[in-house]
Every structure is written in structure tokens, then in C-alpha cells.
Structure 1
Amino acid sequence: MNTFFRKKSIEQLQQNSTKNIGLQRVLGLWQLTAIGLGGIIGVGIFVLTGVAAAEHAGPAIILSFLIAGLASAAAALCYAEFAGMIPVAGSAYTYSYAVLGEGAAWLIGWDLLLEYALVVATVAIGWSGYMQEILRQIGIHIPVWAQGAPGTGFGHRVDLIAMLVSLAIAGLLTLGIQGASKFNNLMVIIKLGIVLIVIIVGSFYIDSANWYPFMPFGFQGVMGGAALVFFAVFGYDTLTTAAEEAKNPQRDLPRAVVISLMIALCLYIGMSLIITGIAPFHTLNNAAPVAQAFSYVGIKWITLIISAAAIAGILSVLFSFMLAGSRIWFAMSRDGLLPKWFSKLHATYKTPHRPTLIIGLITALVSGFTPINEVAELVNIGTLAAFIVICSSIIVLRRTRPDLERKFRTPFVPVIPLVGIGFSIYLIISLPEITWIRFGVWMILGFVIYLLYGKRKSKLAKS
């Protein structure tokens, strides 16, 4: 049982972070922030804002975002402290290894592999839907058999576009982090620019009467909205997986975590104010609430702008989460918990190409042949489990290692971490039973693999 709790030395991890292990250190503060924004802001800004307002909070959806943002910020601040203290690839997996031990690290790493892969697969399907709609508008119709996975429509056999975009992002990440980061920066700039245009244009059509009653469903509705939109304000953890590709990780990682979440939260609140101000909140309960709101005031051309933002936004989400998944896989392989074959870098591009391409292939197959619905809820439970581990680890480490140098300190410990833990537990409890069952099966499978392979093969076992 002692093997389950053996830990990495934080001092050794800090020393390793300064060594050249092959990955290229090319990412600065704004490239890291763009990865975080790419993970946080996706199509959700154009969907969850309206749905949560119509079903739960009404115009008080801005309070829902503030509450969800504060809860997410509690976890973000804990991530920021770890990122400045242990600037090593692997994010929550590596942090758990240093604080809770090898067994907990394996389980959280195994959890994150599932989470990130499912995010990529689910988002690829959403991107395919937007792209097919744009192609139809310009008169291009792909064959019926290639429009969706079996069971999603008559004659559907495969979602070809979802498969192709998954493989394309994997190929881009394989060709080098610097070029891939520039592409992601461009997508994020386009996305943020279009969101700002939507907010500015919408501000001229606000009718303040639409904000009354401000809280039609009471404070309980506000909390229900917060639980729903919470899943639109995480994703910043993806940037911490690129710690060993950052130029100055101890300085830039904590800043990028906080900056990306703050920018995203401001944009979400701005979008909420606009759409509830230009259209009655009860008209926003549909798959395209932002487009519906602008149609309500007669600005139908904005739908093309929104589609363009969704295309760019979803691409950056695919980039951020596939990057995160491949770096987690790389870190676990380098530690011996998975075969070393996966941690071999490409001779030319210096990227962990094997896990990247495998994740690309797996997500392509899942997105191409699986109608993703309730399976996507596994993403939520996986993320929340990681948040609980990270927040708990900050409390433990403050007590056991108060002497460690911390480039960034989470304020008000243990209050802030406990807020993150409490909100995450509240949301996990609200998830359907089938989600718990699927998550449990995946974690049991991971535990068996650890007992049969990782326990014997890890670097710590050999040392």
C-alpha cells in the first residue's frame, strides 16, 4: 500500500523544470493566455448565456455568472499557486504526484485523459454542425451519409467533417508548438474580436424594460443558472499542461491562469447583459439564443458573424484540449506509468507526436461514429474531480510544506480552496446517476491498469 502514496520531491520537480528535456520553450504570457482563453470561450458563450437565462435566472443571469466565476476562480487561484511552484508538464496530474502520491496522481491523470478526449470529440461534432450550416448557406451540400454519426439522422453513416477537423488539429500540434500556437492566437483574436462586435452592436438596441423583473425565478433560479454556466468558465487548466514549453513558467503560468479567466468572465457577463437587454429572456430558450435575440430586433445579418465566431472559437477549444490531453499522456509516460514509447519526442518537431496523433485518431473515431449526448457529462464530473483534488492539495501543502517558495500565493487559505471544493461537490451531486456509473467504470479500469503495469514500471518504483 505504501507504493500508492509514494511521492515525487517538489524540490526535484523544480530542478527538472529548468532542464532542457527536448520540448521547445517558446510560449510567452500572451500565448499561454490564448491557450487558456481557447479552452474557456467556445460555443458556450453563444448558447449557455441564453438557455440559463430562459430556464433559470432571467436577467439575473449576470449574477449566475458572477457566482460561477467566483467558484471557478477559487480553483483557478489554486492552479495558479501550483503552476508557479511546480512548473512541470502534467498540470493536476503532476501536482497530485507531489502532494498526494503516485496512486492519486495516476487516477487524476487517467481521469483527465478521458475528460480532454471527450471534450475534443464533443466539440468536434459541434464544429461540424456549424460548418455544415455555413456550407449549406453558400450552396455546398455534402453527401447525406457523411453528415452525422449513425442514429443522428436518416441515412447518416459518419460525421466526416468532425473526423477531419480532429485529425487536422492533431497534425497541427504534431508539426510544432510554435506554429500551432500562432494559429491558436489567430483563432482567439478572431473570436474575441467578434464577441466584442456583438456586444458593441447590441448595446445600441438595449431596452431596459427587458431587465424587469430582474430575478423572476428568485435566488434559487440564480443558483440553478450558476450550476449550468459553471461549465462555461473552466478550461484555463489546459494552459498549465504546457509548463515545459513556456519561456518563464513560474512567472507567466499563474498570470495566464488568472488573466484568461478574468477576460472570459467579463465577456460572458457582457454577452448576458446584451441578449437579455435586447430581447425578453423567455424567448432565449433555444440552440441559438444570441442569433434569436438579434433577430428579435431585426438584425439578422449578425447570425453570420456569430457563425464565424463559433467556427473560430471551437477550433481554439479543440486546440487547447488536445494539447492538454497529449501533454498529460506525455507526462504519465515519462514517469513510467504508461509505456515509454509514448514519451519519445519527434526528431524534427520536438513534440510528443505519438500521444497527440493517437488522441487525434481516437477523437476522430468517437466524433465520427458516436452521437455524443449524455456521455459528454463525463467531461463535467472529470473536471470537477480534478478541481477537488487541486483545492485539497493546496490546503495539505500549506500545512505540510509552509517553507516552500511560492511565486504566487492563493489568498485566504483555506477559505478559497474550500469554496472551490464545496461548489464542485455540489455540482457533482447534481449529475445523473448514469454519469456516476460510467465514471466509476472508467476509474476502476484505470486502477486495474495501475496495479498491473504502473505500480511496477514507474520511475519511483525503480529508484
Structure 2
Amino acid sequence: MSIKSRLFRREKIDRYLETDKKFVKTMSAVDLISLGIGAVIGTGIFILPGTVAATKAGPGIILSFVIAAIVCSTAAMCYAEFASALPVAGSAYSYGNLVYGEIIGWILGWALILEYVLAVAAVSSAWGAYFKSFLSGFGVNVPSAIVGPFDPAHGSYGNWIAIAIVLVIALMLGHGVKSSVRLNNIIVFVKIGIILLFVVVGAFYIKPTNWHPFMPFGSHGVFAGASAVFFAYLGFDAVSSSAAEVKNPKRNMPIGIIGTLIIATILYVLVSIVLTGMISYTKLNVADPVSFALQVVHQNWAAGIIALGALAGMFTMMVTMIYSSSRLIYSIGRDGLLPKFLGELDQHGSPKHSLTTVTIVIAIMGGFVPLDQLTNLVNIGTLIAFLFVSFGIIPLRKNKDIQNHQGFEVPFYPVLPIVSGLLCLLMLTQLQAETWIASGIWFVFGLILYFSYGLKHSRLNNPDNVE
């Protein structure tokens, strides 16, 4: 077999379904939406509507969120079709293996590892700092030495609160998906309740004059705002990692993915309407615009609740991403491209080894590695996955093993998948050169790992598995 044939050999859907049937199917459409909202709605909902309104869009930020949601919805529908047709673990990694070939699957898996691990590590670090600030409001002073970067020369020994919260979430997930999802659902409902509390309280202080002019920066400002807030929607793709553990995935996966985007859009738009109505957009370029607006109207009691909502937002995001990353690593180990033990399930149908591995990596990075300059890599990993999933609808429809899957299908085929892919390319061109250089190093390392280990140990070396 030529090297090209080996690189682009494709997995069989039947083998994935057979391997993944050991997972316990417990998740409903509501659970999936909760996971998605947990990933998408974080602290950004309390910050972005204010800062982007002040610097780019004015009250037109309301339209910016709608435009960004429309752009994201094209990719979301492509994910929904894949998840409905291929109810297997691994998200875009597994989809790539099935419709493009192993090398593309590996690249997508490597991109998603970058997205998930960096996202959780960065948020865990922020959660530690935020939790320290939250406790100080109650007179509890946490030593800065255990909530900062690892810099012994200046008396700082790592963010141990970040490490602790990652370990707590991992222990929760290791205890069982059903109980973990139930707790996540409760915290997501609390978070949504806090967001709606702000909307209701703030609505009494809206002054319609604050919405004039509605587009002070013109239509260009609205589109610039849409570009800036586009990344606020990223995370819904993590829902597709859970497909092997979902009841009736053909129905529930599309509901979970598209439902997440709809609810997130409604919440972002509501916050934007109220925030820009409470106070002039010119005053919102502050670190905490929602809390600031509440203080301006003398509702300081609500500002403390918003802080609690921010902590809840970060917590549920970490739950979803740690869960998704463990399923991703399991999937790559299942195929032999990473050590085989990572692709094993315990007697309860849980990938304990992959969960332990990602927990250790995330805890170390969140606790000891400065991540400020690396978080842009989260966006490039996500957009690369979006790009291939969007264009992948075309070979998916032509795949003779998956035709007539009788699940959700992207409308306006093939125009909408192509438009989605082109939009992802456009967003990729907006990223900074430093991001491309850093990601290039990451992908070179990934290809070295694939050619030195994965190609040799791949389960596709068994002729029975090759399509």
C-alpha cells in the first residue's frame, strides 16, 4: 500500500458503532442543551456586550450578536447532520476519519486537543483569580502566593485554586456521567437565572435615549462587532463529542446543537438590549460592564450575584470541555493513534484513563503556565474543525455506508455547507500572524507524533478495518 493510500484510508462506521456501544446511553436533548450552554455562555456574557458596544458597534451590538449567530448556525447545522448520521464519540476527529481519511482525522483531533485543553486551562486560571476576589468580598483573604503564576522569585507558587477546581470536576465526571450531567444542569439553570435576573432588574432602568444613535459607527461597526463576538458562540461543537452516550441521537443531537445556539443568542441579545439601554455605550469600555451598570443605578446587591453567575459560567464551561476532551482522547486511543490504554472504557462505560490524562495536563497548564498569549489558539483549533466539518457534508452525503441515515440534514445542500466553509475561511484570515505561527508549531509537532507513532500503531493496519 502506498504512503498516500495509507494516509487517506478511512474508518468504517460499523466498527466505531461496535466499539462505542459500551458507553451507557443516558443523555437527553435537555442534557445536551445544558452541556452546550455550559460551554458557550461563560463570563463573556457579562463583558463582551459592553466592551464591544463601546469600541465597535454601539447599541448595534444587538444586531452584531444576531449576525454572528447566523454565521455560526451554518456550521452548527453541519455539525448537527454529522452527529445525527454518525452517533459516535470523538466529534470532528471521528467525522474526519470516516469521510476524509486518517490523516485529516488526526489533524482535526490535534486541533480539537488544542482547543479543549487550552480553553479549560485558561478558564481554570481565571476561575482561581475570580474565586479569590469573590471570597475577599466576604472578608476571606486567600494568599496571592497560591493564586498566581509560578514565579518563586517573586513569592508566587502557582494557581492552586485552578488546580483544585480541575481536580474536583474530573472527580465529578469520573463518578459517572449521569450524576455529573444532573449537577451541571442545576448549575446551568442557576447561571441562566442570574442572567435573567440582570435582564429583569436592568429593564426597569432602561432609558430609550441611550439607544440613540443606534449605529454610531455605521453598518461597518455592526459587522466589526459581529466579527468580535463570533468567538463568544464557540463551544457548541463540544456537544457532538457526547453522541455515543445519547438516547436517540438522530433526534436529540440536532436539538442539542441547534438549541444551544438559539438559547445562547437569545441570552446574548437580551443582555445587550438591557445593558445598552441602562447606560450610554460610551461608558461601557470597562472590565466588568454589567456590574458597573448595576452600580450606576445603585443596585449594588445585584452586582454580587453577577459575580456568582460568572463563577458558575466558568465552572460549567470547564465541565463540558473536560468531558469532551476525555471523549476525544478516548477516540484517538481507540483508533491506535495514541497509546491503546487511552481508548479503554472501565466497567461503568467511562474512559477513566483518558479522563485522568487530560486532567493532569490541564491542571498543570492552568496552575503553572501563563496562558494569556495562547488563548487565541483556541479559536484557530475550532475554526479548522468547523471548516472541515462544513465541507465534509458533501462527502458524507456521498458515502455509501451512511446514505439515507434518516436523521437531520442541512437544508439548501450543497450551497449552505459551502457557504459555511467559506465563512470559516474568512474568519481564519482575521486571526493574527502570531496565532498562525504558534499553531503551525503545534501542528508540526502533531504530524511528527503521527508519523512516528500513529501511522505505525493505527488499527487501520488491520485490513478488515479499512474502507
Normalized against structure 1, the TM-score is what?
0.96
Of 71-80 and 215-224, the range deviating more from structure 2: 215-224
CA distance in 2, matches of 1:48, 1:75: 22
Contact 2:151-2:158 at 8 Å conserved across structures:
no
RMSD between aligned residues: 1.7
Q: Is the 8 A contact 1:175 1:351 kept in 2?
A: no
Letter in 2 for 1:236: F
Which amino acid counterpart does residue 415 of structure 1 have in structure 2?
A: V
Q: Which moved more, 1:383-392 or 1:367-376?
A: 367-376
1:90-129 correspondence runs (5 A): 90-129=90-129
Map of 1:16 onto structure 2? 18
Residue 6 (structure 2) aligns with: 3
> Is 1:206 the counterpart of 2:209 in the alignment?
no
Conservation of the 8 A alpha-carbon contact between 2:99 and 2:399: no
| Structure 2 gap segments, 5+ residues each | none
Give the distance between the partners of 1:448 and 1:167, measured in 2 at CA. 30
- Could you tell me which amino acid in structure 2 is paired with residue 352 of structure 1? P
Corresponding position of 1:281: 281
- The answer to whether residue 434 in structure 2 is matched with residue 405 in structure 1 is no
- Within 1, Cα distance between the matches of 2:241 and 2:255? 15
SS of 1:242's equivalent in the other structure is helix
Q: Cα–Cα, structure 1 residues 141 and 230, in superposed 2: closer, same or farther, change >3 Å?
A: same
Per-residue CA shift, 1:379-412, capped at 9, x if unaligned?
Answer: 0000011100100101333356594324001111
Q: Counterpart of 2:385?
A: 386
Residue pair 1:151, 1:371 contacting (<8 A) in 2 also: no
Report what 1:242 is aligned to.
242
Alignment correspondent of 1:359: 358
Structure 2 contact 335–343 (Cα < 8 Å) conserved: no
Q: Distance in 2 between matches of 1:6 and 1:80?
A: 25
Contact 2:124 2:166 in 1 (8 A): yes
AA in 1 matched with 2:362:
T
* Aligned equivalents of 2:155, 2:61: Cα separation in 1: 40
In the superposition, the TM-score normalised over structure 2's length comes to 0.95
Q: How far does residue 368 in structure 1 lie from its aligned partner after superposition?
A: 1.1
CA deviation map 1:351-372 (0-9, x unaligned) = 1111112211111111111222
Q: Tell me, yes or no, if structure 1 residue 292 matches structure 2 residue 295.
A: no
> How far apart are the structure 2 equivalents of 1:411 and 1:171?
41
- Cα 1:136–1:461 change in 2 (3 A) is same
Q: Which moved more, 1:451-460 or 1:327-336?
A: 451-460
Deviations 1:64-84 (A, max 9, x none): 101110111100000000111
Q: Which residue identity does 2:12 align to in structure 1?
A: S
- In 1, distance between residues paired with 2:177 and 2:37? 17
Query: CA distance change for structure 1 residues 319 and 153 in 2, over 3 Å: closer, same or farther?
Result: farther
Q: How many residue pairs align between the two structures?
A: 459
Partner of 1:326: 326
Q: Deviations over 1:397-447 (max 9, x none)?
A: 335659432400111123322332222222221211111111011111111
Does the CA contact (< 8 Å) of 1:170 and 1:359 recur in 2? Answer: no
Distance 1:189 1:391 in 2: 31
CA distance in 1, matches of 2:362, 2:450: 23
Q: Distance between the aligned counterparts of 2:100 and 2:343, measured in 1?
A: 23
Structure-2 change in CA distance of 1:223 and 1:456 (3 Å): same
Unaligned runs of 5+ in 1: none
Matching of residues 69-218 of structure 1 within 5 Å: 69-150=69-150, 155-218=155-218
Residue type at the aligned position of 2:180: A
Letter matched to residue 395 of structure 1: I
C-alpha displacement at 1:11, in angstroms? Answer: 5.4
Deviations 1:82-137 (CA, angstroms, capped at 9, x unpaired): 11100000111111111111100011001101110001001111211221111101
Query: How far apart, in 2, do the equivalents of 1:51 and 1:298 lie?
Result: 21
Q: Which residue of 1 aligns with 2:305?
A: 305
Q: How far does residue 213 in structure 1 lie from its aligned partner after superposition? A: 0.8
Identity of aligned residues (%): 38
Q: Which has the larger displacement, 349-358 or 202-211?
A: 349-358
Report Cα offsets for 1:185-204 as digits up to 9, x if no partner. 11101001111111111111
